[in-house]
Amino acid sequence: MGERLGIPQETISQWKRWKIEQPMFYMLQTWSQSSGATVRMLHRHLVSPQMRCTLLAKRISDFYKVD
């Protein structure tokens, strides 16, 4: 997910070395600071053929207009 959102591989590798407990928190927190970080873009990543996280994408679309 981090790679899809444009987080540098070096940062992802560092998080793996640190064995952080909540990697998704760090990934979303880092990504949220970028200009392209929108709920719509997150939804698009989740429904992409590579991710197929349809349940999570559905939860997001229940609360936000993502189309």
Within a domain: residue 17?
Answer: yes
Q: 2 in a domain, yes or no?
A: no
DSSP string, 1-67: -TTTTT--HHHHHHHHHHT-S-HHHHHHHHHTTSTT--HHHHHHHHHSTTT--HHHHHHHHHHS---
pLDDT tens digits along 10-55: 999 999 999 999 999 999 999 999 998 999 999 999 999 999 999 9
User: Is position 43 within any domain?
Assistant: yes
Q: Is there a domain that residue 37 lies in? A: yes
Instruction: Give residue 24's identity as a one-letter amino acid code.
Output: M
Residue 4 placed within a domain: no
Is 46 within 8 Å of 38 (Cβ atoms)?
no
Domain count, the chain: 1
Would the CA dihedral through 55, 57, 58, 60 be positive or negative? positive
In terms of pTM, does the model score above 0.85?
A: no
Please check whether residue 3 lies inside any domain of the structure: no
Residue 56 lies in a domain: yes
